Structure 1
Amino acid sequence: MQSTNPYTTDVLDSYETPTDDEVEAAVERAVDRFPAWADRPVQDRCRILDRAGDLLEDRVDEYASLLTREMGKPIEQARAEVEKCAWLCAYYAERAPEQLADEVVGTEADARTLVSYEPIGPVLAVMPWNFPFWQVFRFAVPNLAAGNVGLLKHASNVPGCARAIEDVLHEAGVPEGAFQSLLVGSDTVGGLVEDDRIRGVTLTGSEGAGRAVAEQAGSELKKSVLELGGSDPFVVLDDAPVEATAEKAVTARTQNNGQSCIAAKRFVVHTDVYDEFVGAFEAKLDALTVGDPREESVDVGPLARPDLVDDLHEQVEETVEAGATLALGGEPPDREGAFYPPTLLTDVPRDAPAATEETFGPAAAVFEVESEAEALELANDTSFGLGASVWTADVERGERVAREFEAGLCFVNEYVKSDPRLPFGGVKESGYGRELARQGIREFVNRKTVWVQHGLGEERE
């Protein structure tokens, strides 16, 4: 397995993939480690995770540089990702004991009844490359806090990140076997999902991968959580402050070089502000600096792999062929590295690829609508349901519209983002289940009902 810099195209390092016997040994280590880890007090587990957060804080620059080298994330955003992981560790270190505490439920006067939240065992995580630290930590931290043990199958283009995460957790005090990174290919996932010793599986990735994992997990009657793709609408109402909204729109579309499931991808704009918004949006996209992601001044770096450039360009070309107007960008530059320029498509037909498919890169599709009702209809006219945002000067109106979105993450006057304090996940073909917050830490636990009856067998005089 090789790690390649998408900016320089240089091979950074090579990693040996484990044999079938080594994978088997890793699963067995997880099984052996689980009882002791689960038996440790939750406060003890949380102290270890808090130390992991401290290590991340101490090494922000080191790990940010690794992220940038392996998948091209602009360095400032890479630092922010590592810092967010440290925040996640601190959040669960503080909150997990409360979130996992027994929940006493009143039933009968002579009984004590409660729900306990108990770990289930080894959980497999199949994680993507676009947020190579954040996606893993938001799986690992709540599950380790809950008493589960984890096996990570990370994306094959970020093996250095996978190893670094494992090292951080072990250095913090997570014992060998409680969290392991398996540098294996996708062809190994099926066997792991089917293994009786793996008690749950979570995947962040494509719809196709999600369907395959869901089918396998369902046939084995084991819990799964899926966070899949998105085609998030960014709805600009007629009373939105255009300049400020366009500024947010640029970040919403181009953060992480446009490679985010929750990035705004379809910009649905009311006709009263359409021309003004498109003009401001285009000018701000055109002003972005594209180049070496290691430089502080760069806004957009390369995509993570050359094939991703090909896929995005095909979607853009097919959308233009379907009748859209190419207002900006739309042609890979003649330079080394997996670059695609900030691209703006207007007059997009509603059946074109940029309208119906997830575009994973800095390409924005803009749609003009005549009313709020039409904006909502178009926003929800998608097979995806991950995130959505609405922009307006009237926050009450914004909340009313947000409640009408068919999505798991609905924002008013802010672009969609993940936060440890709030549940994260989608509906429709964007997946099911939740990560983060109280809801996330309770996904892979046994919600056990305990009924303690008083009075039976009381001592007699």
Structure 2
Amino acid sequence: MGQVLKCISPIDGSVFAERDTLDRDAAFAAAARARAAQAEWAARPLQERIDLVMAGVAAVGAMNDEIVTELARMMGRPVRYGGEFGGFNERATHMAGIARDALADIAVGEDETFKRYIKRVPHGVVFVVAPWNYPYMTAINTVAPALIAGNTVVLKHATQTLLVGERMARAFHSAGVPEDVFQNLFLSHDVTNDLIAGRAFDFVNFTGSVAGGQAMERAAAGTFTPVSTELGGKDPGYVMDDADLDAAAETLIDGAMFNSGQCCCGIERIYVHESLYDDFVAKAVEIVKGYKLGNPLDPETTLGPMANVRFADEVRAQIAEAVAAGAVAHIEKFAEDDGGAYLTPQILTNVTHDMRVMRDESFGPVVGIMKVSSDDEAIALMNDSEFGLTASLWTRDVARAERVGDRIETGTVFMNRADYLDPGLCWTGCKNTGRGGGLSIIGYHNLTRPKSYHLKKVTG
């Protein structure tokens, strides 16, 4: 028997959607259909696959008015922000545009005796396990290039955003992508583990928690199935003495608070040069006091509830522990803070790395701000983390940003911006953020395998 997955709306705690999971036999049958369909899909001309994928993307865009409200109900993002189609389309469009060059044969040499080259060939069946915080954009990072490269795709979406995979599959099928080529499945953890351990898939892409990534790797142990993981972060911002103070405050605080702080590359800790520290903190507090916490269906709301009460409870616990240890909380409790999913955004100072709020992933609307006196001090603090996804550097000096960036243990270095995923760059991390790389030409290389051809010509 399967289980019942329930999406609990953070707006009011009601059950917004529920779906039955597949039992083990049905799940393996679905994976087998994906495998059977893969060779024919890969044999289609590249341009045909690109056109079908982009038609699927457009079909998702046509649903956007419904999607925006649906996302608010499922995970709490305010409708005023208009959903995710802009980034969804940008990423798919970029990957479609670079596909021909990224997947082209690598010529090694040809003469009258030999022809040698390396092809990029699809893995086969790609399993995408997507998170709830940016459910469309994180999924398309892999779904679009995997399909374009000739793989078939099985998508498993987070329970909190239960309807996203269903909508994506419906859109892509309506555009002409065969049903067995792109499948959305509702799966329990146990059946998911059985599928991975049973070699139902040829590549696994997982975005989520460290514990979830570890579970994926354990399931794949001994199968030699590649597992690509992006497991979140504790991303720092560093405001140098020559920074544009207003721009730094506006961007870093938005990066810390947008989506109620539930961003993989959101800013979770900020280090500010002592010469700008007081002014930065004052501006940060002013910005946060201007937020409107409330029902995400209200177009006036700028900060919605966290996606789940247990996520908010963890953030409250980190804040309370920090304050008990001497941190200063600058934001008084908002009237709309109900002790549940609706949580007051918080700025903390007098924080140290002994506090969990500066060490553990918060994934909520809280940020700690520390004073530093030098690049060396800031670098040491930025690297004092088990995570390594992005870092945001604020300076007018590009060379200085490059020097500092070279010393930071992170997957991406931003200068004078934050919390953005550029599809032309490899989205990757280090340490407990996981390993792998999505988007860019490297994303295609990870979703294919090299196959070498060494062809000796008959000359006599």
Q: Same fold (TM over 0.5)?
A: yes
> Which residue among 25, 47, 51 is the counterpart of 2:51?
47
- Asked if 2 retains the 8 angstrom alpha-carbon contact of 1:424 and 1:435, the reply is yes
1:158, CA displacement in angstroms? 1.3
Match of residue 125 from structure 1:
128
| Change over 3 Å in CA distance of 1:26–1:275 after alignment to 2 | same
1:142-175 CA-partner distances (Å, limit 9, x unpaired): 1001111111121112111121111111111110
The RMSD of aligned alpha carbons is 1.8
Amino acid paired to 2:350: D
Aligned-pair CA distance for 1:329: 4.6
- How do 1:3-82 and structure 2 match up within 5 A? 3-79=7-83, 81-82=84-85
Contact 2:389 2:411 in 1 (8 A): yes
Letter in 1 for 2:45: P
Q: TM-score, normalised by structure 1?
A: 0.95
Paired residues, number: 456
Does the 8 A contact of 2:337 with 2:344 survive in 1?
no
CA distance in 2, matches of 1:299, 1:423: 30
2:282 is matched with which residue?
A: 279
Query: How do 1:294-333 residues align onto structure 2 when only pairs under 5 Å count?
Result: 294-329=297-332, 333=336
Query: 1:127 corresponds to which letter in structure 2?
Result: A
8 A contact 1:8–1:337 mirrored in 2:
no
Counterpart in the other structure of 2:157:
154
SS at match of 1:285: helix
CA distance in 2, matches of 1:267, 1:102: 45
Runs of 4+ in 1 over 3 A off after TM superposition: 106-110, 329-337
Q: Residues 87-120 of structure 1, C-alpha deviation per residue, up to 9 Å, x if partnerless?
A: 2232233221221111112487742221110011
Report the TM-score, using the length of structure 2 for normalisation: 0.95
* CA-CA distance at 1:306 after TM superposition: 0.9
Q: Is the 8 A contact 1:402 1:412 kept in 2?
A: no
**3-state SS in 1 of match to 2:282:** helix
Report 1:107-126 matches (<5 A): 110-126=113-129
| Counterparts of 2:115 and 2:446, CA distance in 1 | 25
Partner of residue 373, structure 2? 370
1:303-331 Cα shifts (integer Å, max 9, x gaps): 10111111111111112222211122578
Q: Work out which of the residue numbers 428, 432, 437 in structure 1 matches 2:435.
A: 432
Question: Is it true that 1:192 corresponds to 2:199 in the alignment?
Answer: no
Structure 1 residue ranges without an equivalent (≥5): none
Query: In the alignment, is residue 208 of structure 1 matched against residue 214 of structure 2?
Result: no
Mean alpha-carbon deviation: is it higher for 363-372 or for 393-402? 393-402
SS of 1:295's partner is coil
Q: Is the 8 A contact 1:235 1:390 kept in 2?
A: yes
Asked if residue 356 in structure 1 is aligned to residue 359 in structure 2, the reply is: yes
CA contact (8 A) 2:428 2:437 kept: yes
Greater shift in the superposed pair: 260-269 or 8-17 = 8-17
Q: Tell me, what secondary structure is at the counterpart of 1:328? A: coil
Could you tell me which of 264, 269, 272 is aligned with 1:261? 264
CA change 1:76–1:447 in 2 (3 A) is: farther
1:173 aligns with 2:176: yes
Amino acid in the other structure paired with 2:21: T
Aligned partners of 1:56 and 1:85 also within 8 Å:
no
Percent identity of equivalent pairs: 32
